[in-house]
Structure formats: structure tokens, C-alpha cells
DNA sequence: TAGATGTAGTTGTAGAGTACAACGTAAGCG
DNA sequence: CGCTTACGTTGTACTCTACAACTACATCTA
């Protein structure tokens, strides 16, 4: 068993390497929907609609960034805005039929890529890895 | 124990979430050295010098991107170029004294942040998590 | 109810990161 | 020598992003 410091060092290096590559990989795999757009659209789908402000808070993005991303998704016909009748400042965002369809395609293809990468892992390892990642990200959210 | 598919789904989501945040976090923590610059400089330090082409291949970056990144690092005085006496096309890149110093600072601070995030993990979990990440990244490199 | 304060979202601007294409220069090889 | 290949730079364009200024609406308070 390696010393605690060595493990932390490895985790740091590997997480960094992964992050460095994620965007390029995503762009190569899905030119029609960038990593950011995908994530935002997936969140809308998952939450059955939410506000731009919620997206910004959840992904640590500036509201202007979200505003432009949403505008782009709307232009592509992937997202629609419904003004909240109780508060006219608020726009509740939803994936359109078309947006949901594209999202489903990209999700399926991403899922397949992950399945390929993890094909030779046994269930115990998969389960543990998933748990560790969730735990790590939760800690990061908590600590900034 | 969850089904294989659920674990894969979680791994996908968490890895994506992590990637989405890594750049912004790095920028917040180290305005003086972006995630990309840091990674390149660290690779130079690790390899005790290498060529721009090697960096491009290793990080799946276009050679023009590397060229500009290195130019920026040179302007900051963090990297120096040594023309290979045997092949005048080649520039072997090295961190300068100053570059190595900054790198050491950022590395130390990153290491501390990771230690904080992982403070309440026991050694067995750390070791397993490190192993899983290494295995995952190796698979990704192999499969593209 | 009028004015202050707060919240949601957009737009102007600027900068980083990136890719692709075109180019210059230097080897390497027939 | 001239063809091809390898290394690197530069021009150009696009995406993502933040910050600041702004509009519009809502809510609170005196």
C-alpha cells in the first residue's frame, strides 16, 4: 500500500490529465453539441426545466455566459423559453422536442464510449469508482 | 450493488462535472498560471526538457496552440529554448529557474487543495481511487 | 404609494484557448 | 541538386468565458 501522499499525488495528476483532454474529446465526438451546451441541455432535461440563474449557480458560470449559451441553443431550436406567469423577470427554460432528441443521441453515444472504456472492469470496481468520484466532487463543491 | 449501467452512468456524469469545473477552479486558484500553461510547464519539468511537437502529441493539442502557449511562457520568463545542435529545426524547451520556482509554488498549492478535499478519506480508499483513475485514463488514451 | 433596493437577464467588450491552413526553414535522401 | 518530410510560426476565425453596464421587473419600507 502506497503512502497517502503518493495516492493524492496520483489522483491530482490523473484528474488534471482528464480535465485537460475532456473538452477536445467531447468536441471531436460531438461537433453538434459542445461539452458546455450538452451539460446545460442535460441539466434542463434532468430538472424538467429551470432558470438561467439556476444553471449559472450550478455550473459556476457567469450569468452572461449562460445567457449566450442559451441563446445559441435556442437559435438551434434545442431550447424554448416560457415566461413565468408569476414573475415576469423569470424565463423557465425547457428542451424542445428536437433538443431532447439530439440530447438523447449524444447521451447514447457518450454512454457507449464510456462503456467501451470501462468494458473490462468488473462490477465491484465500477461501483467503487463511481462512489469515489461522487464523493470527490461533493467535497470539491463543499470546499470550492 | 447497483447495476453495471448505473455505475457507468454515474462515472460519466461525475467525470464530466469535474472537467466542466477544473479550468475555472484552476484559474481562480492560480491566476498566474492557467491549467494549460501549468500542465505544459509541469511536463517540461518532469521530462527535463522536451520539444514542442512532443507536447502537442502528448496533450492532443495543435502545434500552433503549443507554439503560442510556449511563446507566452517564454515572455513571462518561465521557459527557455535551446536549439538542438544536431538538428537546427528543433528547440528543446526547458523551465527557467523562475519557471521552476513558480511551478513549484503552484504545485504545492494544488497539492494542498487536493489534500484538503481528500482529508477524510482513509488510505485504502485513496489508494483504490488513484488506481482506478490511472486505469481509466490509460484506457482512454488507448481508445481515443 | 413613492423611492430604495434587489433579482433576472442581455449586451458591450475583452481576453484566453483552440484549430486549420499557409508558410518558412531545415534535414534527409534519391 | 531537387523532392519530400519534419518542426515551428503566423494569419485568421471561432468558442468560451468573465466583468461591467444596462433594462426590466419585483419587493420592501417609510
B88 beta carbon to strand D: under 7 Å: no
Give the long-range contacts of residues A113-121, CB within 8 A, separation 24 or more.
Answer: A113/A29, A113/B143, A114/B8, A114/B11, A114/B12, A115/B8, A116/B143, A117/B136, A117/B139, A117/B140, A117/B143, A118/B8, A118/B11, A118/B136, A118/B139, A121/B135
Which residue has better confidence, A43 or B13? Answer: A43
Residue A133 lies in a domain: no
Strand order in the sheet with B50-51: B50-51, B91-95, B79-83
pLDDT in tens, B125-139: 999 999 999 998 888
List the domain range (segments joined by +) for residue B84. Answer: 16-143
pLDDT in tens, B71-129: 999 999 999 999 988 998 999 999 999 999 999 999 898 888 888 889 999 999 999 99
Residue A52 lies in a domain: yes
Query: Of residues 57 to 116 in chain B, which lie within 7 A of strand C by their beta carbon?
Result: 60-62, 64-65, 68-69, 72, 87-89
Confidence of residue A68 (pLDDT cuts 50, 70, 90): very high
Q: Domain tally for chain B?
A: 1
From A36-40, A45-49, A107-111, B17-21, the region with the lowest mean pLDDT: B17-21
Nearest to B137 by CA among A33, A32, A136, A10: A10
pLDDT of residue B141 exceeding 80: no
Nucleotides of D under 7 A from a protein CB: 6-12, 15-21, 24-27
Residue B7 lies in a domain: no
Q: What is the pLDDT of residue B98?
A: 95
Residue B40 lies in a domain: yes
Judging contacts by C-beta atoms under 8 Å, the chain A residues touching residue B22 are: 15-16, 19
Q: Using an 8 Å Cβ cutoff, are B70 and B88 in contact?
A: no
Q: Using an 8 Å Cβ cutoff, are B122 and A3 in contact?
A: no
Residue B8 lies in a domain: no
Question: What percent of chain A lies above the pLDDT cut of 90?
Answer: 53
pLDDT of residue A13 exceeding 70: yes
Q: Is the sign of the CA dihedral A45, A46, A51, A55 positive or negative?
A: negative
Which segments of chain B are extended strands (E)?
Answer: 50-51, 79-83, 91-95
B37 CA to C18 C1' in angstroms comes to 14
A90 CA to D27 C1' in angstroms comes to 15
Residue B135 lies in a domain: yes
pLDDT in tens, A104-128: 988 888 888 888 888 999 999 999 9
pLDDT of residue A1 exceeding 70: no
pLDDT of residue A133 exceeding 70: yes
Neighbours of A115 (CB within 10 A): 14
Judging contacts by C-beta atoms under 8 Å, the chain B residues touching residue A124 are: 1
pLDDT in tens, B28-85: 888 888 888 999 999 999 999 999 999 999 888 999 999 999 999 999 999 999 998 8
Nucleotides of C under 7 A from a protein CB: 6-13, 16-22, 24-28
Residue B69 lies in a domain: yes
A44 CA to C7 C1' in angstroms comes to 21
User: What's the whole-number average pLDDT of chain A?
Assistant: 88
Judging contacts by C-beta atoms under 8 Å, the chain B residues touching residue A60 are: 21, 24
Q: Distance from CA of residue A3 to its chain's centroid?
A: 33
Q: Using an 8 Å Cβ cutoff, are B46 and B55 in contact?
A: no
Residue B42 lies in a domain: yes
Report the CATH number that the domain containing residue B48 is assigned in CATH: 1.10.10.10
Q: What is the pLDDT of residue A110?
A: 82
Confidence of residue A3 (pLDDT cuts 50, 70, 90): confident
Amino acid at each position: 500500500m502506497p503512502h497517502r501522499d503518493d495516492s493524492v499525488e496520483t489522483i491530482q495528476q490523473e484528474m488534471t490529465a482528464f480535465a485537460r483532454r475532456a473538452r477536445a474529446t467531447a468536441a471531436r465526438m460531438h461537433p453538434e453539441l459542445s461539452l458546455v451546451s450538452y451539460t446545460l441541455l442535460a441539466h434542463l432535461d434532468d430538472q424538467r426545466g429551470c432558470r438561467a440563474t439556476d444553471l449559472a449557480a450550478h455550473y459556476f458560470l457567469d450569468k452572461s455566459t449562460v445567457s449566450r449559451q442559451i441563446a445559441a441553443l435556442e437559435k438551434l431550436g434545442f431550447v424554448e423559453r416560457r415566461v413565468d406567469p408569476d414573475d415576469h423577470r423569470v424565463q423557465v427554460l425547457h428542451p424542445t422536442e428536437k433538443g431532447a432528441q439530439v440530447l438523447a443521441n449524444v447521451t447514447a453515444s457518450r454512454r457507449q464510449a464510456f462503456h467501451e472504456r470501462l468494458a473490462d472492469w468488473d462490477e465491484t470496481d465500477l461501483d467503487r469508482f463511481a462512489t469515489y468520484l461522487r464523493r470527490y466532487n461533493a467535497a470539491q463543491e463543499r470546499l470550492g
